[in-house]
Amino acid sequence: MDRPPTIEDLERGLKGARQEVRNLQVIQMRPGHSAKRLKLLAALERSARAEVRLRIKALEHAKSQMQ
């Protein structure tokens, strides 16, 4: 049976998701992308930002359960 994630696990996942957002922003700044590829990269960034928001909520919830 799997154990529930610890606060450290949740923080590590949040850090990784934030890094993904930054990486996608940097990729979009590089010249030479087609319009289609830029649209795809923008959609990926939106998805990564949504993941960050959900991970923040999960972390806040976990911290509130510990109090």
pTM: 0.89
Structure confidence by residue, pLDDT tens digits, 1-46: 588 899 999 999 999 999 999 999 999 999 999 999 999 999 999 9
Distance separating alpha carbons of residues 54 and 39, to the nearest angstrom: 23
pLDDT at 2: 85
| 62 and 10 Cβ atoms separated by less than 8 Å | yes
Element holding 25 (H helix, E strand)? helix 7-29
Distance separating alpha carbons of residues 31 and 39, to the nearest angstrom: 14
| CA atoms within 13 Å, Cβ hemisphere of 17 | 17
Q: How far apart are the first and last CA of the chain?
A: 25
